[in-house]
Each structure stands twice: as structure tokens, then as C-alpha cells.
């Protein structure tokens, strides 16, 4: 929302000092909703910012990786190294859930689930929205899910390669 001050008692067809015939505003893409006394209430839609890269597109990581960036990357992987957090993220792929629903789905205590959700929330991986007295959690950073899918794909390829080695040994005997 944005408020604009307008001159009182403007005659019809009057143009303001800027020559536009409209009240001044810093709100682009504004639509007048209501005129109250000498103010106009407008709905403001911020202009879309151009994205620097497509969601999920690879980022050019400097080589060698600077120590501060390496620390941040390690911190992210460390956060995801807990199996309970991976299981929580897996449940949240279906949409927003409350702590009690997540706890029931994982057969864990609400206290344990809340602790893990708090860490994921502070890291920006999940988001929380209040609905009456309940907090609903949802995935905020979809790149984490894609990372998990890539890891699962790598595990599957590795297991398939190992299985083919085992099956070749069985055929030789």
C-alpha cells in the first residue's frame, strides 16, 4: 500500500505542477483504491526484478574456492548431514505441514522435530507461516530438494555398478 497527498479542491481538468494531471507518487504500477480526505490510497505492485540466473541453473564458483565460501558450503552440507532433517524435507515436498503432523509421520517427538525445523528455518531452507495457533512449515529453498535428488541419483548409479560387478562374479562361478 502507498499513500499519496493530493491537493485539496482541484478543479476538473486541473494539471499539477508536474503537468501530468495525476497526484505525485513514488509507487510505480499503482492503482487507486480509495480517496480519503486529501490522501489517495493505492495498491502497489513492485516491478519485477530481473533474475540474475534461472532457478537451479549452475553458478560459476570461483576456483580455487575462497576459504569463507568453503566454510559456508561446508556449513550447508553439515546442516543436511542429519538424517532426520532429510526425512523432514522429504515430507515437506508434499506441501506445508505442522510440527505435529511431521512428528507423527516420522514417529518422532514434537520437541525433536521442532529442534530440527528451527535449524532449517534459521538456514533459510524452510519457511514458517502462522495459521491461527498453528505454525505450518514449507520448503523455502527448492535447490536443497534438487541436491537430495542428485545425491540419490548418484547413489543409485553406484549401487547399480556394484550390483553389475556382483552379478558378473556370480555368472563366472
Share of the chain above pLDDT 90, in %: 54
Distance (Å, whole) CA 168 – CA 139: 43
User: Which pLDDT value is given to residue 43?
Assistant: 52
Q: What is the mean pLDDT of residues 142-153?
A: 92
Per-residue pLDDT of 28-70, as tens digits, reads 444 544 445 555 555 545 555 444 444 556 678 888 999 999 9
Q: Which residues pair with 2 in a beta bridge?
A: 42
Distance (Å, whole) CA 89 – CA 29: 37
Q: Which fold has domain 67-143?
A: Arc Repressor Mutant, subunit A (1.10.10)
User: Which pLDDT value is given to residue 164?
Assistant: 87
The residue with greater pLDDT, 172 or 123, is: 123
The residue with greater pLDDT, 10 or 152, is: 152
Give residue 119's pLDDT band: very low, low, confident or very high (50, 70, 90).
Answer: very high
pLDDT at 148 over 50: yes
pLDDT at 170 over 80: no
Mean pLDDT over the full length of the chain: 78
Q: What is the mean pLDDT of residues 86-111?
A: 96
Domain map (residue ranges) of the chain: 2-44, 67-143
Per-residue pLDDT of 7-30, as tens digits, reads 444 444 544 444 444 444 444 444
Question: Which of 23-32, 77-86, 97-106, 107-116 is least confident?
Answer: 23-32
pTM of the full structure: 0.62
Give residue 100's pLDDT band: very low, low, confident or very high (50, 70, 90).
Answer: very high
User: Which pLDDT value is given to residue 45?
Assistant: 53
Amino acid at each position: 500500500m502507498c499513500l499519496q497527498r493530493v491537493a485539496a479542491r482541484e478543479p476538473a481538468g486541473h494539471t499539477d505542477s508536474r503537468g501530468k494531471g495525476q497526484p505525485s507518487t513514488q509507487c510505480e504500477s499503482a492503482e487507486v483504491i480509495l480517496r480519503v480526505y486529501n490522501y489517495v490510497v493505492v495498491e502497489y505492485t513492485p516491478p519485477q526484478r530481473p533474475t540474475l540466473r534461472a532457478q537451479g541453473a549452475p553458478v560459476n564458483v570461483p576456483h580455487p574456492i575462497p576459504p569463507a565460501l568453503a566454510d559456508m558450503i561446508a556449513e550447508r552440507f553439515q546442516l543436511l548431514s542429519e538424517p532426520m532433517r532429510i526425512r523432514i524435507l522429504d515430507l515437506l515436498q508434499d506441501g506445508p505441514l505442522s510440527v505435529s503432523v511431521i512428528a507423527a509421520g516420522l514417529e518422532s517427538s514434537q520437541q525433536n522435530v521442532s529442534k530440527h525445523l528451527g535449524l532449517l528455518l534459521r538456514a533459510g531452507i524452510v519457511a514458517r507461516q502462522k495459521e491461527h495457533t498453528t505454525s505450518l512449515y514449507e520448503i523455502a529453498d527448492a535447490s536443497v530438494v534438487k541436491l537430495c535428488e542428485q545425491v540419490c541419483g548418484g547413489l543409485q548409479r553406484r549401487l547399480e555398478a556394484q550390483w553389475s560387478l556382483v552379478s558378473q562374479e556370480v555368472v563366472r562361478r
